[in-house]
Amino acid sequence: MTDMFAGLPELEPGSVWLVGAGPGDPGLLTLHAANALRQADVIVHDALVNGDCLKLAKASAALEFAGKRGGKPSPKQRDISLRLVELAREGKRVLRLKGGDPFVFGRGGEEALTLVEHRIPFRIVPGITAGIGGLAYAGIPVTHREVNHAVTFLTGHDSSGVVPDRINWEGIAKGSPVIVMYMAMKHIGQISANLMDAGRSPDEPVAFVCNAATPEQVVLETTLSSAEADVTASGLEPPAIVVVGEVVRLRASLDWLGALDGRALAPDPFSSRILRNPA
């Protein structure tokens, strides 16, 4: 059998690879990510990395938890970045394993800049971000040519834990038919109000995808005006991806995981209705 790792790069001692593990399912790891796992001496991993991914590590690898979760005690970002430098200077093969993609709301840029500052060699290995892969596991495409020709990705809170004040809500509400939000569940009431104040319909479909691409995945479908009340009543907790837009209706036809459990999929998710593209 051909070695699938033949010809792939070596994780050299004294270097750091910043690797995206994808949104949950270990099958979504890239070949580069699996190659890094089998070579690393130390794996510094996030809270959102599926534990099954770590089973691909070599037996002698040390695992260090560096998870950051909102509202819970978490290591400071600067300390995590400097820990990567420290390990590399010890001559270790260092894998920084992050959920999703390291450069999509994953602070990978900050960590890479610290490595540059301290002259540590590094490699970036992209991963499947939850805002695309997680929604796909819920049967929701981020683009569909009958619905949208644009999509906006944004974070629901900034470094201080509040809704970012630099987001142009009016511009996004009027210009982006589909809005995908990371870390937005806690502030969905304010975010929904911002979007409706800027002209989005209260009846616009919204979906929360919790624990995306894992066996614990749960999807809540609601509307912009009911989102806060419905998610509170559901008892669902982060991590979650939130999507606003007509693409949510496609889940009635594209919920492939539901179909495996017997859900009958609809051939016409829009019931032949004329769609209004806000862009």
Catalytic status, residue 4: no
**Which residue bears the tokens 């969905």?**
188
Q: Is 255 helix (H, G, I), strand (E, B) or coil?
A: coil
| Cα separation values, 37 from 25, 108, 126, 239, Å | 15, 18, 14, 24
In a domain, 142, yes or no: yes
pLDDT at residue 71, rounded to an integer: 56
Range of the domain at 109: 16-128
Q: Which of 41, 92, 98, 183 is catalytic?
A: 183
- Provide the Cα torsion 256, 260, 263, 266; round to 10°: 40
**Which residue bears the tokens 């606003």?**
244
Domain count, the chain: 2
Q: Is 119 helix (H, G, I), strand (E, B) or coil?
A: coil
Q: What is the mean pLDDT of each run of 10 residues along the chain (279 residues)?
A: 86 98 97 98 96 97 85 80 98 98 96 98 98 98 94 88 89 97 96 97 98 97 98 97 97 97 92 54
pLDDT at residue 272, rounded to an integer: 54
201 within 8 A of 193, measured Cβ to Cβ: no
Q: What is the helix, strand, coil percentage profile of the chain, to 5? A: 30, 20, 50
Catalytic status, residue 181: no
Distance separating alpha carbons of residues 135 and 143, to the nearest angstrom: 11
pLDDT at residue 70, rounded to an integer: 57
Q: Which CATH number characterizes residue 83's domain? A: 3.40.1010.10
- Provide the Cα torsion 140, 18, 21, 110; round to 10°: -50
Task: For residues 136 and 237, state if they share a domain.
Answer: yes
Q: pTM (2 decimals)?
A: 0.92
Last residue in a domain, options 128, 151, 179: 128
pLDDT at residue 154, rounded to an integer: 96
Task: For residues 111 and 44, state if they share a domain.
Answer: yes
In a domain, 170, yes or no: yes
The residues near 151 (Cβ < 8 Å, ≥ 6 apart) are 142, 143, 176, 177, 178, 179, 180
What is the DSSP annotation of 34-45? HHHHHH-SEEEE
Closest CA to 148 of 194, 217, 205: 205
Task: For residues 89 and 154, state if they share a domain.
Answer: no
Burial class of residue 118, CB neighbours in 10 A (0-12, 13-18, 19+): middle
Q: Taking the alpha carbons of 34, 40, 43, 44 in that order, is the dihedral positive or negative?
A: negative
In a domain, 269, yes or no: no
pLDDT at residue 202, rounded to an integer: 98
In a domain, 276, yes or no: no
Helices H, strands E: what count in the chain? 10, 10
Task: For residues 137 and 256, state if they share a domain.
Answer: yes
pLDDT at residue 279, rounded to an integer: 46
Measured distance between the N- and C-terminal CA atoms of the chain, rounded to whole angstroms: 51
Task: For residues 256 and 171, state if they share a domain.
Answer: yes
156 within 8 A of 228, measured Cβ to Cβ: no
Task: For residues 34 and 69, state if they share a domain.
Answer: yes
Last residue in a domain, options 128, 158, 176: 128
Last residue in a domain, options 67, 94, 128: 128
* Structural element, H or E, at residue 95: strand 94-98
Catalytic status, residue 46: yes
In a domain, 4, yes or no: no
Task: For residues 61 and 86, state if they share a domain.
Answer: yes
**Which residue bears the tokens 């479908």?**
221
Q: Which of 41, 46, 101, 255 is catalytic?
A: 46
